[in-house]
Structure 1
Amino acid sequence: MKDTQTPHIPVVIVGGGQAGLSTAWCLKQQGIESIVFERNRAFHSWRVNRWDSFCLVTPNWQCRLPDFHYDREYGGTDPHGFMLRDEITDYLDAFLDRTAPQLHEGVVVTRVAPVTGGGFTVETSVGSWTCDQVVIATGGYDTPIEPDYARRLSPDIFQMHSVDYRNVDQFPEGGVLIVGTGQSGVQLMEDFIRAGRDVHLAVGPAPRSPRNYRGRDATDWLYDAGHYAITIDRHPDPVKAMTQTNHYMSGRDGGKEIDLRRFHVEDGVSLYGSLADMDGTTVRFLPDLAKNLDDADRSYVGIRDQIDAYIAREGIDAPTEPPFRKVWEPEREITEIDLAGAGITSVLWAIGFRPDYSWIEAEVFDTRGKPVFRRGVTDHPGLYFIGLGWLNTWGSGRFLGIEEDSRYLAGCIAQACADQAAGAGNI
């Protein structure tokens, strides 16, 4: 029996980003009422957690919210360009205006708990609700990652995580050590280079990708070849797919690839291996710079090989490209530096985030605290996740795959509603 004093709604969606609001729209099309709780403002991470020069890494044509594709319903005129931060939020806000969800902003969900007999209690900063089904659309970027040894760094060295970075002017004069070479780290590196700063980069194991290859953007080739349609259950190496850092490249200046060797040669960026430890002004690195650069290049060449194979298989007339060659190799591994002696006055952490699901009281997590599901559907009836990487395909958690994922999840929720109604009718 439902609590008549607590408002009830069929579906609660936690998270007002593109994943949650796409699901709300797909549910509305199914005739299912939902409510979306967002702790900040809709699309908060795009508005606030992006730096001033931020732009998309994938082309605009991949922005495919349900019934609101960039180059169709939205009417975007630069499908092969890369929207800047404010252009992205304009696109998202237009989707919000079009779909008109029941959205409650500034509401923090503090607890989601199963109810005996089915359904859930959802406790928030403005009261409690009950519901039949819950969609978790909070993403995986709750807690910025900084290693414990960051606390041992001298207080004379300024520190910031990428989530708080907006522009170079936030940093004191002097050199900067950027830790991490995922998509954020390498793009922030370029911000500092353009500002004329002395840049030092701790190079991690992130892979890299070509940008334009044989006359087209590499992502265009991969899409046509069916690469992005591969599902996680058909992937040849699903563990690697789900744990590997995103390939780095850039959408800046119309799109370009990032070759860290070239940035060292042409822009004087000092490269080191993975950060291992720090104490006072002493920073230590693993002797893995050469390996990490080689592994990134191996990924780069592998993508080129995939595209070459597709072009050959389909008999496509495309321009040829010269083979890849290294423009620089480290002569030795530098495993320790003194920041003060090197003129480095700040450290910028770009090593990612971890999710926080401590407020969900359901047995749907593995020993590492990660949710277990198939295409977002957990083993706990009525509890779903969306907006996470490789929920189903590479495009899950990105604009490219959100339409397919949200429609699928809405269909599962609609079926559960129908089953519940049929069960009630048989009582």
Structure 2
Amino acid sequence: MTSNTYVSIPVVIVGGGQAGLSASYCLRKKNIEHVVLERYRFAHQWRENRWDSFCLVTPNWQCKLPDFPYTGNDPHGFMLKDEIVEYLEAFVRSFDPPLKEGVTVTEVSRRDDGRFVVCTNEQNYLAEQVVIASGGYDVPIIPSFAEEIDPSIFQIQAGDYKSPAQLPEGNVLVVGAGQSGVQIMEDLKLAGRKVHLAVGPAPRAPRMYRGRDATDWLYDMGHYDLTIRDHPQGEAVHEKTNHYLTGRDGGHEIDLRKFALDGVTLYGSLSGASGSEAVFAQDLEKNLDDADESYVGIRKAIDDYIATNDIDAPEEKPFEKVWRPEQEPSQLDFDRQNITSLVWAIGFRPDYSWLKVDVLNARGRPIFDRGVCTVKGLYFLGLGWLNTWGSGRFLGVGDDAQYLSEQIETLHETNRATLSKVS
């Protein structure tokens, strides 16, 4: 039962993932009192919403939480799920944040005096400032026609997928070729499953190129320092899907054309399904071509950087398409293909239904400038492209947290000075 009384506190942080914990660290350094409210256990997404073989797709050296960089013996490797959790646990031990777990925020609203009411299942708070660090992966995107599929087909979304053994015997349709979709596809393929993959418009990236991981080149090129203000696509970059590749077994790129040669059946985007039949758009070749165009574009940018800076790096063979669809299948009969499972991997969306402050646009996306809302005292943290590509990742969330902590400190001191004058 929620209390009718309020605990007054300068700052409430909603969310105990890497973003909320980074904000807590920065505020603790500034001696600003705050509390971190986490619905589950801290780092819940990493613990519970990743499959067993999950690993980072960016190298370990990019793990740069505030004053807590990766210090292991494999900076160019890719931490497994349990190692990521251990990294976060060590970060928490390093400063012991004021963390309250098992606390669900049910509403955040703003009073006429400018303070925020934060209601939870345990206690209500009256805060001068609020940081929303709950992430953007609350609700899996599953089309309405999923309900029309034969109930004998086992359906699961990527956040609940753990391993091939979780699925009933038989073949599998994976819907979505973003980072999660292609990695789950490979996980199933390596387990000996026959996989059908519905390929959407996600781009892909090289892994190793000209002697180094492509992300190393991109870092040196300043790619990760590019802000959304300077990005040629501007706000439209929010709509772009992440490039797919993997860190599995030391890391490698994923060329779906090679998987097609190795037995994975590819289709275009899934456009509908009913009973035991699925229908696909005729866009497979276009989606493969577009993904390759992105892949080749990254390689060319690296080539240009190497040439401009006269860097000695080994040459690479030009990219070649090893397979193309001679005829794009438009339909799939689950029964005939012995498909018993369907994995939805077409993304997530945030749920801000509990946020009763006018800071969302018509599409429900938060409106802010580098995380700072026009409503004074309200901030967002940990979202992709909040400022840079790394804002939603271990690479950039620490810098964003430091920036917001400075904004919070300025307002906090202003509030203290105002109270002092009144008293």
Query: What SS is found at the alignment partner of 1:396?
Result: helix
Contact 2:5 2:124 (8 Å CA) reproduced: no
Contact 2:197 2:265 (8 Å CA) reproduced: yes
CA distance in 1, matches of 2:194, 2:391: 37
Cα deviation for residue 220 of structure 1 reads 0.3
The reply to whether residue 126 of structure 1 matches residue 125 of structure 2 is: no
Paired amino acid for 2:30: Q
CA distance in 1, matches of 2:285, 2:100: 50
Aligned to 1:41: 41
Equivalent pairs, count = 420
Aligned positions of 1:27-66 closer than 5 A: 27-66=27-66
Aligned to 2:405: 410
Paired amino acid for 2:53: S
CA distance in 1, matches of 2:172, 2:49: 20
Q: Pick from 81, 106, 109: which aligns with 2:105?
A: 109
CA distance in 1, matches of 2:323, 2:260: 8
Q: Pick from 123, 136, 140: which aligns with 1:144?
A: 140
Query: What SS is found at the alignment partner of 1:231?
Result: coil
Q: Deviations over 1:338-384 (max 9, x none)?
A: 11111111110001111000111111010001100000000001000
Contact 2:39 2:102 (8 Å CA) reproduced: yes
Query: What SS is found at the alignment partner of 2:390?
Result: coil
CA distance in 2, matches of 1:156, 1:421: 62
Contact 2:371 2:404 (8 Å CA) reproduced: yes
Cα deviation for residue 195 of structure 1 reads 1.1
What residue ranges of structure 1 are gaps of 5+ in the alignment? none
Aligned to 1:280: 275
Aligned positions of 1:281-320 closer than 5 A: 281-320=276-315
Q: Pick from 371, 374, 380: which aligns with 2:375?
A: 380
The alignment's C-alpha RMSD in Å is 1.1
Worse overlay, 385-394 or 155-164 = 155-164
Aligned to 2:14: 14
The reply to whether residue 246 of structure 1 matches residue 230 of structure 2 is: no
CA distance in 1, matches of 2:168, 2:5: 55
Aligned positions of 1:14-413 closer than 5 A: 14-71=14-71, 76-265=72-261, 267-413=262-408
Query: What SS is found at the alignment partner of 1:132?
Result: strand
Query: What SS is found at the alignment partner of 2:118?
Result: strand
What residue ranges of structure 2 are gaps of 5+ in the alignment? none
Task: Rate the CA distance shift 1:39–1:377 in 2: closer, same or farther, 3 A.
Answer: same
Cα deviation for residue 4 of structure 1 reads 11
CA distance in 1, matches of 2:51, 2:413: 45
CA distance in 1, matches of 2:383, 2:235: 15
CA distance in 2, matches of 1:116, 1:269: 59
TM-score by length of structure 1 reads 0.97
Cα deviation for residue 125 of structure 1 reads 0.5
Worse overlay, 413-422 or 256-265 = 413-422
Q: Deviations over 1:201-260 (max 9, x none)?
A: 000000000000000000000000000000000001124421111000000110100000
Paired amino acid for 2:35: I
Paired amino acid for 1:414: E
CA distance in 1, matches of 2:6, 2:362: 34
Paired amino acid for 1:131: A
TM-score by length of structure 2 reads 0.98
Paired amino acid for 1:235: H
Task: Rate the CA distance shift 1:83–1:225 in 2: closer, same or farther, 3 A.
Answer: same
Paired amino acid for 1:57: V
Cα deviation for residue 154 of structure 1 reads 0.4
Paired amino acid for 1:293: L
